[in-house]
Amino acid sequence: MTADIQPGNQIAWDDSVLPFQLDNCDIRGRVARLDGVLEGILRQHDYPPQVEALVAEMALLTALIGQTIKLRWKLQLQVQSKGAVRMIATDYYGPQEDGTPARIRAYASYDADRLTQEAPFDQIGEGYFAIMIDQGEGMTPYQGITPLESGSLAACAEAYFAQSEQLPTRFSLSYGRSSAPNVAEHWRAGGVMLQHMPKASPFAAKGEGSGGVLSATDLVHGDTEENWNRVNILLDTVEDLELIGPSVPPTDLLLRLFHEEQPRVFDAQAVRFGCSCSEDRVRQSLSIYSAKDIETMTTDEGRVTADCQFCGAHYDLDPLTVGFDAETAAGE
């Protein structure tokens, strides 16, 4: 379903992703606002501020990218690096049914003694940025990888789409701690994603890109380049408070930025914090271990325990009921 935008037309915008199209050019995009989602993700951990900022940025990218996947599919974004922040992983679970929320979860692993007072992205070293899509049982998961770009996680995602998908892509993001009267300080994030869609075939690159890695500007030429540059100049005028909200609805933001491009919106996708862990999944993950292996995992209290890195859930299991031998006995 699509709708023309009228000034003042508001939708419930917190924890949602609003897809849109600019009818005067072949550009589509999304506006995302995260509030409770970030609270759900970050309250599970006592991350230092630099790590919190990276997780917030990664969650926002995941919401913007994930909105396009189909029902019940899973999208994963991952950063692996040699820096103080070794890994950031996010999962986006597509809605189970039309009209229901998508779910996001995220976590990071890091070496606290290697963190510095530099910018958040400086805590990440050499490594790679990956996107994986799981279409469900019986389907081969898709995975694309690109080297980490300097500057931000958003720049890494832009390089991924240029290199792996041949799609000119731009992100403008803002995130940080928000405070308001009678509201406890908490994290908020907001952003806009733009993509120039090919008319018939993938874009042909004009060159090999910087360091062998393509960028959006390597993929556009002629009228496409003119349209892309014009819309990006308009996006450059956006302010942080417009991206994060909450006083500016996404529809008003699109009108302010792109009114001459005739923006048109589609149905918004609600997103929530949500984890897929369960006792059954823990038992399944332990089913590859023998009784001898399980014995090495057993605590002094005679239990096997596991904690979910994403949501902090704690599982306490009887060692006699887990592992390969227990699975075999249960099937006999």
Q: Which CATH number fits domain 14-273: 1.10.1740.10, 3.40.50.1100, 3.55.30.10, 1.20.810.10?
A: 3.55.30.10
- pLDDT tens for residues 251-299? 999 999 999 999 999 999 999 998 777 778 767 777 777 778 777 878 8
Does 14-273 match 280-331 in CATH topology?
A: no
Cα gap 206→203, rounded to integer Å:
9
Higher-confidence residue: 164 or 86?
86
Cα gap 53→99, rounded to integer Å:
30
Q: Side chain identity at 178, as an amino acid letter?
A: S
CATH topology of domain 280-331: CBS domain Like (3.90.1280)
Q: Which residue ranges make up each domain of the chain?
A: 14-273, 280-331
Higher-confidence residue: 162 or 281?
162
Whole-model pTM? 0.82
State residue 231 phi and psi, 5-degree precision. Answer: -70, -35
- pLDDT tens for residues 20-49? 999 988 899 999 999 999 999 998 889 999
